[in-house]
Amino acid sequence: MSSFKIIAAFFAGLGCALLLPFFQKLPAETLSSMALYLLLFLVGVSIGGRRETLQMLRGIRPSLLLLPLMVASGSILAPGLVAALFLPLSFQEGAAVGAGMGYYSLSSILITKISGETLGLIALLSNIFREILALTMTPLLVRYCGRLSGIAAGGATAMDTTLPVIVRFTGKEFAIIAVFSGLVLTLCTPVLVTAILSYGA
């Protein structure tokens, strides 16, 4: 039922912003950043207080790079194919949107610069949706689609926004791995988006 509660919290916020004038005066961006920092601190405390954490840190090995590699491949290839086959967009455009990995601020700015407003807006919305999907569906995904699915769905956001939810439903022993994967993807996103859109251009 936690998926439902998480979705409800998000849509309560969305509804308040759209319908109630009082909430439109609130600095929502600042508030959400502050809530995120508080949450990351608390997640840090709860991971730092465990004996297993040191073992986990020692467990970081080169083979773990496979995780962000596969997340990136899936995030680029699947939207590319879907765009080419079912949408009035090219493989390249779909792939570039997917390469945003949920990092919507940066990817939408980059894509707007290179490919214009329309694709930039699609990139912004799509990567916001991806973050929302990861936040709200992780409890269900972890249960039915494998233990790593939360980390995969989160993409670049697995190191910050979606980390608390991932830790809670995937298990604390995966916290370091989620941060690692998210960090690698965050660093790769600008490179990948630019590379995909400049290919053949």
Distance CA 156, CA 171 (A): 19
Smallest distance from other proteins to CB 198, Å: 20
Q: Based on the shown chain and the rule CB under 8 A, indicate whether residue 94 belongs to the binding site for other proteins.
A: yes
Q: Based on the shown chain and the rule CB under 8 A, indicate whether residue 116 belongs to the binding site for other proteins.
A: no
Distance CA 154, CA 127 (A): 10
Among 124, 177, 104, which residue's Cα sits nearest to residue 147? 177
Smallest distance from other proteins to CB 154, Å: 9
Which of 1, 58, 200, 201 touches other proteins (CB under 8 A)?
1
Q: Give, as ranges, the residues between 18 and 37 that touch other proteins (CB under 8 A).
A: 18, 23-24, 26, 28-29, 31-32, 35-37
Q: Tokens representing 75? A: 């995030």
Q: Which is nearer to other proteins, 6 or 194 (CB)?
A: 6
Q: Which is nearer to other proteins, 2 or 198 (CB)?
A: 2
Query: What's the gap between Cα 39 and its chain centre?
Result: 16
Q: Based on the shown chain and the rule CB under 8 A, indicate whether residue 110 belongs to the binding site for other proteins.
A: no
Q: Based on the shown chain and the rule CB under 8 A, indicate whether residue 109 belongs to the binding site for other proteins.
A: no
Smallest distance from other proteins to CB 39, Å: 4
Distance CA 172, CA 112 (A): 37
Q: Based on the shown chain and the rule CB under 8 A, indicate whether residue 44 belongs to the binding site for other proteins.
A: yes
Q: Which is nearer to other proteins, 52 or 200 (CB)?
A: 52
Q: Based on the shown chain and the rule CB under 8 A, indicate whether residue 148 belongs to the binding site for other proteins.
A: yes
Q: Give, as ranges, the residues between 165 and 184 that touch other proteins (CB under 8 A).
A: 165, 168-169, 171-173, 179
Q: Based on the shown chain and the rule CB under 8 A, indicate whether residue 60 belongs to the binding site for other proteins.
A: no
**CA distances (Å), 137 to each of 70, 115, 134, 158, in order?**
20, 31, 5, 13
Smallest distance from other proteins to CB 110, Å: 16
Query: What's the gap between Cα 37 and its chain centre?
Result: 16
The residue written with tokens 């995937």 in the block is 170
- DSSP labels, 50-100: -THHHHHHHT--GGGGHHHHHHHHHHHHHHHHHHHHHSSS-HHHHHHHHTT
Which of 60, 116, 129, 199 touches other proteins (CB under 8 A)?
129
